[in-house]
Amino acid sequence: MSQPDYAIFLNGGYGVGKSSVLEHVGDLLAKAGRPFSLMDVDWFHRSWPPAEQDNALVEARNIAAVWECYRSVGPRQLVMCGVIATEVDRERYAAAVDCSVRMVRLTADADIIRKRLRGRYSASQRSALEWHLERCDEIAARLEAAGLDELVIDTSTLGPQEVAERTLRHFGLLES
């Protein structure tokens, strides 16, 4: 098997189900016997205080190092999730993983997003909840306006398994 020439990127705002879908994508690829690696890019910049230099560059360096490790054990399909709102962001991720980045944007109804976000945070995380609630509409609008995604899936009425199946079928990685 040769190294795939692209990474799949599950793109979307807060609460649309990116991380949940990512896990199901991994399960489906494993079941199909397809080597893969998963990356939730949020975990590559979660440190405090933020880097004195651009935190996005630190994130890209972390991703590149992990991807180099994954590739050292053989070819595999890379599937990532996070937020890409500009072509510059996409190019930074593509450079970090040394291949093109093909994007699937997940969306959901605003009321459903808010319900999901409220279910994610405990009472002690109130400030994090408020931060995400204040920004969820704006980030969704930015992602839609950017138009960077080759496929858009509304997760409002779909479970993560079905979204993962649709994503993998789109890329020809799952039989119909």
Lowest mean pLDDT among 27-31, 50-54, 122-126, 128-132: 50-54
Residues counted in the chain: 176
For 163-173, how does the pLDDT look when each residue is reduced to its tens digit (9 = 90+)? 999 999 999 99
Q: Where are the domains of the chain?
A: 6-167
Three-state SS at 105: strand
Task: Tell me the CA distances in angstroms from 59 to 51, 94, 123, 132, one per residue in order.
Answer: 10, 13, 29, 20
Question: In the prediction, which pLDDT does 1 show?
Answer: 61
pLDDT in tens, 41-76: 989 887 777 766 677 788 899 999 999 999 999 999
pTM, to two decimals: 0.93
Residue 176 scores a pLDDT above 70: no
Say how many CA atoms lie within 13 Å of 81 toward its Cβ: 22
18 DSSP assignment = H
- What is the three-class DSSP state of 144? helix
Q: What is the pLDDT of residues 100-122, one digit of tens each?
A: 999 999 999 999 999 999 999 99
Res 151: pLDDT: 98
Which top CATH class is 6-167? Answer: alpha beta
